[in-house]
């Protein structure tokens, strides 16, 4: 088992102040490792970085077509969104189309990540609902599939037919038997795998070119993400901005505790990344650095510089430090 | 140079999800290392963890007595406060007593950390001022000393007489020549030292029992912190709650990028801690663990459990994981 390696450094003046270590794997369409840092066999919980895998049964089952789901809705089903109006308006319509209400969600309420939405809610004296949960798009996808398979209302329980479908798809994509699961922030089970397994799943999404239901579902989901990057996260967020910088060359998804997945269709490669300490400052810099290395984003693109070579400014606007990739990474 | 060691683990279900590594030193009154983890010679920027050192010249110079500063004001001069009313009301009065205004601060504006204060400001459509900066107590101390020494208004510049006094005190307490400084979040210079040096400074505060100006100043500052823990940080904050748990046995101060200092007068020991990745989740658990180990807080005190064995609950209130000290730490 190899130790996590330094991937990201924070400098203040002439002093190295903090370091983020991590593990990462780049995998090809055969499922083989092309390049790895740290321990590729490290067992991780992908958290939201595997939402496109969790959305596979929605599409493969025919539920998405039966309900006439759009690319926007498929992007939302893979999203950890900001709960800006562009997200919650669409989720509200989706719920209405399903004939369901906020009470049918099982994700729990969450204050919007979007500052305008959050402040508007404070000014209006309103409390957040489940629709504002960053996972409400994924849960709308869950509710859609659940309606299609006529499952019971507790769709987040690990032995619910819907979660069994997701586990099966997850194990097939990672080509590993999951050693178990943790309960995610939105209460759904989140299945464990090795970092290699997660990169393998991403590579399958990247290289899916068959006419079988899975390949078609993978293409639809990755294309939906790249077509609507603002729906997958939100304005100012790393996923959204790095997808814009990649200009159709990458579908990118972050997860809690500093997880990242990147699907690179042109290169037929998949990337999985975990920063050991769980800090998004670290994972955003590290994934941007890997994307530069793989040639899918330009190092001098302002959307890339913002993550890979971020300036730290203090409360007077003075630049006091910067974040950048560690030497040798 | 020894590598940072795993100090804190985050578990989700049966999976180790994230790890925080760090360095720490416990130092005695002679300046010798009693116990250390990682690299005691690591060069660090103490950030706000050394505010009691930055406040020494205010007291030693006679400025505090000339202005009749209270223990509350001395606690605020060592504070990274929440900008709750208990903090900003006192800073506003202090400024008025000095005949100065918010414009005389050089710390920059910051939204209150205290949620009630922040939401009240949003509802009222108000913008934060410099008084709301978490360092406005320290800067009130700076302005007080500056008035006493008749210094120019740019009291945060490294060659200003006030900052030269602070550097001299800092180097004497750490018993090291500082290799330089970084610019802090509040624009003041923050002098670098080894972690051992910072622990040595803390041990000097802990064992100060002489009748000289420095010893008296150290006692006044550490006592002010322990007497008014709610002024040093704020309700719900780790510094405040761990000081309450220590019941007069420790003056504790955190700093940005996961720094911690603890002054233990009864034990005549000083502690300095740096979590490598800069995450407060890590530093709060690690300092609580060291304080338990040194016998100054009880492991089953709810205020200690909250940091050392923190439950992670999701948006439905389900316990999904926990944070605890790494094995062997």
Cβ–Cβ < 8 Å for B176, B197: yes
Find chain A residues with C-beta within 8 A of B107's C-beta. Answer: 315-316
Tell me the mean pLDDT in the region B86-113.
Answer: 98
The pLDDT > 70 percentage for chain B reads 100
Find chain A residues with C-beta within 8 A of B181's C-beta. Answer: 13
pLDDT band for B1, please (50, 70, 90 cuts).
confident
d(CA A47, CA A30) in angstroms, rounded, equals: 24
Range of the domain at B178: 5-325
Q: Do A187 and B108 touch (CB under 8 A)?
A: no
Question: Residue A328's pLDDT is what?
Answer: 82
Q: Do B277 and A316 touch (CB under 8 A)?
A: no
Cβ–Cβ < 8 Å for A51, A77: yes
Chain center to CA of B240: 10
d(CA A199, CA A236) in angstroms, rounded, equals: 26
Beta bridge partners of B274: B23, B259
Radius of gyration of chain B (CA): 19
pLDDT in tens, A291-322: 999 999 999 999 999 999 999 999 999 999 99
Q: Measured between CA atoms, how close is B235 to chain A, in angstroms?
A: 22
pLDDT band for A329, please (50, 70, 90 cuts).
confident
d(CA A135, CA B96) in angstroms, rounded, equals: 49
> DSSP string covering B207-227, please?
H--SSSHHHHHHHHHHHHHHH
A316 interface with B at CB cutoff 8 Å = yes
Number of domains in chain A: 1
pLDDT in tens, B147-186: 999 999 999 999 999 999 999 999 999 999 999 999 999 9
Q: Do B180 and A320 touch (CB under 8 A)?
A: no
pLDDT in tens, B48-98: 999 999 999 999 999 999 999 999 999 999 999 999 999 999 999 999 999
B115 interface with A at CB cutoff 8 Å = no
Find chain A residues with C-beta within 8 A of B18's C-beta. Answer: 257-258, 276-278
pLDDT in tens, A142-200: 999 999 999 999 999 999 999 999 999 999 999 999 999 999 999 999 999 999 999 99
Helix (H) or strand (E) holding A19: strand A15-28
Question: Residue A163's pLDDT is what?
Answer: 98
Beta bridge partners of A260: A254, A273
Chain B stretch 176-235, residues whose beta carbon is closer than 8 A to a beta carbon of chain A: 180-187, 190, 192
> Pairing mode, if any, of strands A5-12 and A319-325?
antiparallel
Tell me the mean pLDDT in the region B16-33.
Answer: 98
Q: E strands along A139-281, which residues?
A: 181-183, 189-191, 193-194, 251-255, 259-264, 269-275
> DSSP string covering B252-309, please?
EEEETTTEEEEEETTTTEEEEEEETT--HHHHHHHHHHHHHHTTSS-TT-HHHHHHHT
Question: Residue B328's pLDDT is what?
Answer: 82
Six-digit token pair at A164? 């069994």
Q: Phi-psi bin for A19: left (phi > 0), alpha (psi -120 to 50), beta?
A: beta
The pLDDT > 90 percentage for chain A reads 97
Question: Is the pLDDT assigned to residue A106 strictly greater than 80?
Answer: yes
Q: Do B13 and A122 touch (CB under 8 A)?
A: no
Chain A stretch 263-292, residues whose beta carbon is closer than 8 A to a beta carbon of chain B: 276-279, 282
pLDDT in tens, B189-236: 999 999 999 999 999 999 999 999 999 999 999 999 999 999 999 999
Find chain B residues with C-beta within 8 A of A276's C-beta. Answer: 18-19, 21, 277
Cβ–Cβ < 8 Å for B190, B257: no
Question: Residue A1's pLDDT is what?
Answer: 75
Q: What is the CATH number of the domain that holds B281?
A: 3.40.710
d(CA B172, CA B169) in angstroms, rounded, equals: 5
ipTM of the assembly?
0.97
Q: Which of A17, A21, A122 sits opposite B119 (nearest CB)?
A: A122
Buried b / exposed e over A77-89, threshold 16 CB at 10 Å, is: bbbbbbbbebbbe
pLDDT in tens, B235-269: 999 999 999 999 999 999 999 999 999 999 999 99
Reduced 3-state DSSP string for B101-155: CHHHCCCCCCCCCCHHHHHHHHHCCCCCCHHHCCCHHHHHHHHHHHHHHCCCCCC
């Amino acid at each position: 088992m190899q130790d996590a390696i330094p991937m990201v450094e924070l400098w203040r003046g002439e002093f190295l102040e903090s370091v983020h270590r991590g593990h990462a794997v780049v995998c090809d369409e055969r499922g083989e490792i092309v390049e790895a840092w740290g321990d590729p066999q490290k067992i991780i919980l992908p958290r939201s970085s595997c939402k496109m895998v969790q959305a596979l049964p929605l599409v493969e089952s025919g539920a998405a077509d039966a309900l006439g789901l759009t690319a926007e809705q498929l992007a939302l089903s893979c999203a950890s969104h900001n709960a800006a109006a562009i997200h919650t308006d669409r989720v509200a319509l989706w719920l209405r189309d399903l004939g369901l209400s906020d009470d049918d969600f099982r994700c729990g309420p969450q204050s919007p990540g979007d500052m305008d939405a959050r402040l508007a809610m404070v000014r209006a004296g309103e409390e957040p609902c489940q629709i504002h949960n960053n996972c409400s798009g994924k849960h709308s996808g869950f509710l859609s599939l659940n309606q299609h398979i006529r499952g019971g209302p507790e769709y987040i329980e690990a032995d619910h037919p819907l979660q069994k479908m997701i586990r099966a798809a997850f194990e097939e994509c990672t080509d590993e038997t999951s050693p178990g699961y943790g309960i995610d922030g939105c209460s759904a089970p989140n299945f464990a795998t090795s970092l290699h397994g997660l990169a393998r799943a991403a590579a399958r999404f990247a290289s899916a070119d068959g006419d079988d239901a899975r390949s078609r579902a993978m293409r639809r989901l990755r294309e939906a993400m790249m077509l609507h990057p603002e729906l997958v996260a939100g304005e100012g967020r790393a996923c959204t901005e790095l997808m814009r910088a990649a200009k159709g060359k990458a579908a990118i998804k972050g997860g809690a505790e500093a997880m990242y997945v990147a699907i690179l269709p042109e290169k037929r490669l998949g990337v999985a990344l975990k920063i050991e300490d769980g800090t998004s400052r670290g994972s955003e810099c590290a994934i941007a650095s890997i994307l530069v290395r793989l040639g899918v984003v330009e190092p001098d693109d302002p959307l890339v510089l913002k993550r890979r070579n971020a300036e730290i400014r203090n409360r007077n606007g003075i630049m006091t430090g910067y974040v950048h990739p560690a030497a040798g990474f």
